[in-house]
Chains A and B, each alone.
Chain A
Amino acid sequence: MSITLQHISKSYKKVEALKDISFEVKENELFGLIGPDGAGKTTLFRILTTLLFADEGTANVAGFDVVKDYKAIRQNVGYMPGKFSLYQDLTVEENLKFFATIFGTTIDENYELIKDIYVQIEPFKNRRAGKLSGGMKQKLALSCALIHKPKVLFLDEPTTGVDPVSRKEFWEMLKRLQQKGITILVSTPYMDEAALCDRIALIQDGKILKIDTPEAIVKHYPKTIYNIGANNMYQLILSLNAYEHSYSVYPFGEFVHYTDQRTNFELNDLKKYLEAENLTGVSIQSTKPTIEDTFMELAK
């Protein structure tokens, strides 16, 4: 096991940030921590990277205890905090060299590992980090977190505030790093990214709701979901919420995801109801549940 957590709890004064969290991340796994802001993801990361002590429970990273062997962990993990935290007034190359030096290594020694990522920002190596675009900052931060060849990589919301193209690229890079034998724990509030992980843990209010592969998690969804569209979206949501048999109503892109309380649900009943509510262009189709639907259902 690469990462093991047993009954980890942590409170900040009266706020319970983590409540009895236990899970395991296998060697060479790409594990996703999915949850909204304030779910406790960053606290969990800070405990695993030895920046914070848990109130209760034990945790192991790469075979080392987070409290007793914190020194060994610092040698063996890479951490990329959610907030860009490199020196904005140093150049790309100076930042990388700085982190290589304090890890007691050199850029040349582990260049192989970061090559794929670093070549993309190498043309700008004399530019100050503060002047880079969001996507390039991410690449530099990832390079810095990898420069000492860590066994485990922690990425706290690496794609928050990054454009869709860079996000996609970033996940491709993660996949390639995984192939090089690095265990990756990544957190994200984006449900679409969850599908790219080997396994995911859904987390909310400091509690783990479910841990499984993305496919299996979706299968757990107990009901049939319907994509409902109409010309007046706002009125549609109001009407669906007012419908006596409605179970859940969530806006989802240009449609509304709707589930019904009844098992013998008739599409036409609903259509008639909506048309009686003066809605035009009503369309109803059944659809596959997504991780977001599952999360909403579990978080209910």
Chain B
Amino acid sequence: MKTIGYIIQKEFRQIFRNKGMLPIIFILPILQLVILSNAATYEVKNIKFAYIDNDHSSYSRELIEKFNASTYFSVLTDFSSEAKASSAMLKGEVDVLLVIPPYFERDLQKEKYTDLGVTINAIDGAAAGVENVYVNQIVQSFNKKLKVELLQPEDALITPVNITSIPSFWYNETLNYKTFMVPGILVLLVTMITLFLSGMNIVREKEIGTLEQINVTPIKKSQFIIGKLFPFWVIGMGLLSIGLLIAKLIFDVPMLGSLGLMYLYTSIYILVILGIGLFISNFTDTQQQAMFIAWFFVVIFILMSGLFTPIESMPGWAQIITEFNPIKYFVEVMRMVMLKGSSFQDILPQFLKTLLYALIMNGLAVWSYKKTN
């Protein structure tokens, strides 16, 4: 016990003496959380909108006025011809192009029917989809207003009943993407920092040769490993606390669930990450190698965690792979507990899987750590 205590003490001393490491551990994560949470947004805003008005009627101007009024579109000038408009889109100056046909107003009044041409730059498919919805919404509301104006009293009898759906968004009523992103990015931070630090730590002893010196001492494998990894467990928990504080103070993310539950789950989760870190460092000889391997896993884990893209829309085989992704469980648990106020019963499946993962990873890591070769 005394030995473990001293190793932990030594480890902390080294961490705090490392002038390059301290900002990496404490400042960068905070910056990351603040910047990423504000920048990584699904909202499509400031859409570059252009139009060709071939009608120049009061209706066509009214429609364009509606786009102008929308906060999502920033209306550029109109183009005189389609050729000019498409070359502008080719240059990337325009995202959405609306073409109002000639006789737009006349057709509407006489035929009660007309077409609008909408061209959307769909290089980013997801954004194009969202833009399409916005355009439709505006056109629809324009439509409704027209109906009232154009319909004759005698037509009222044959007007079909309108079905309006009013969605209510649970757990994130205002569809605030920050509420959704902050818990996820917090997960990312805790994972990245603890994995990199623990992965590089034992390799570092290998690199500077101290591991050889330690291996000839009677110290037990378990004492050494616990002594080495415990400080990073503490740092991981510390990061979680800092992150939660920022989430509350800066982003005002709702925290419905119990803090204790979040800490309980995280304490197990960090064990998984430390196990992976130790495992990596057992099979590498330099910090550089360890760093590359850790990066490789982190990138896959993050992209397949459901943090940025929903797991439900991944192909079947990818969904199976995500079962082995610890970050996925952490993201789920954090979102569940923070936003839905889930109880221990609710997160039990994730909790058990993570616990099993921790046992397996650490078992493998301890088994593969050898004092002799």
Q: Which residue of B lies closest to A71 (CB)?
A: B218
**Chain A 72-95 interface mask (CB, 8 Å, partner B; 1/0):** 001101010101111111100010
What residues on A are CB-neighbors of B209 within 8 Å? 81, 83-85
Chain B residue, CB-CB nearest to A88? B208
B210 touching A50 by the CB < 8 A rule?
no
Q: Which residue of chain B has its CB nearest to the CB of A50?
A: B372
Asked whether, in the complex, the Cβ of A51 is within 8 Å of the Cβ of B216, the reply is yes
Stretch at the interface among A18-26, A96-104, A241-249: A96-104
Cβ of A52 and Cβ of B18 under 8 Å apart? no
Residue B137 interfacial (CB < 8 Å): no
A49 within 8 Å of B by Cβ?
Answer: yes
Q: How many A residues touch the partner, as a band?
A: 20 to 34
Kindly identify which residue among A77, A90, A97, A104 contacts B216, using a CB–CB cutoff of 8 Å: A77
A84 to B217, CA, bound (A): 16
Count residues of chain B with CB under 8 A from any CB of chain A.
23
| Interface flag for A190 (CB, 8 Å) | no
- Is B14 in contact with A101, judged by CB distance below 8 angstroms? no
Question: Cβ of B212 and Cβ of A85 under 8 Å apart?
Answer: yes
* A111 contacts partner chain B, Cβ-Cβ < 8 Å: no
Alpha-carbon gap, A139 to B3, bound state (A): 24
Q: Closest Cβ of chain A: how far from B14's Cβ, in Å? A: 5
Using Cβ atoms and an 8 Å threshold, which residues of chain A touch B14? 87, 89-90
Find chain A residues with CB under 8 A from B210 CB: 85-87
A102 to B214, Cβ gap below 8 A? yes
Quick one: which of B2, B10, B18, B215 contacts A51, CB cutoff 8 A? B215
Q: How far is the CB of A51 from chain B (nearest CB, A)?
A: 6
Q: Which of B2, B6, B10, B219 has the largest number of chain A CB atoms within 10 A?
A: B10
A51–B3 touching, CB < 8 Å: no
Q: Report which of B18, B215, B372 forms a contact with A89, defined as CB distance below 8 A.
A: B18
Q: Are A74 and B213 in contact (CB under 8 A)?
A: no
B-chain residues with CB within 8 Å of residue A90 when the two chains form the complex = 10, 13-14
**Could you tell me if A51 and B217 are in contact, using CB atoms closer than 8 angstroms?**
no
**Which residues of B are found within 8 Å of A49, using beta-carbon distances?**
216
Known interface pairs A90-B13, A102-B6. Does A79 touch B18 (Cβ–Cβ under 8 Å)?
Answer: no
The residue of chain B having its C-beta at the shortest distance from the C-beta of A77 within the complex is B216
User: Can you list 29 residue pairs at the A/B interface with Cβ under 8 Å?
Assistant: A50-B216, A51-B212, A51-B216, A51-B371, A51-B372, A51-B373, A52-B373, A70-B372, A71-B218, A74-B216, A75-B218, A79-B216, A83-B209, A85-B208, A85-B209, A85-B210, A86-B210, A86-B213, A87-B14, A90-B10, A90-B13, A94-B13, A98-B6, A98-B10, A102-B3, A102-B7, A102-B214, A102-B219, A103-B217
**Inter-chain pairs besides A49-B216, A85-B208, A86-B213, 7 sampled, C-beta below 8 Å:** A50-B372, A81-B212, A85-B213, A89-B17, A94-B10, A102-B7, A104-B3
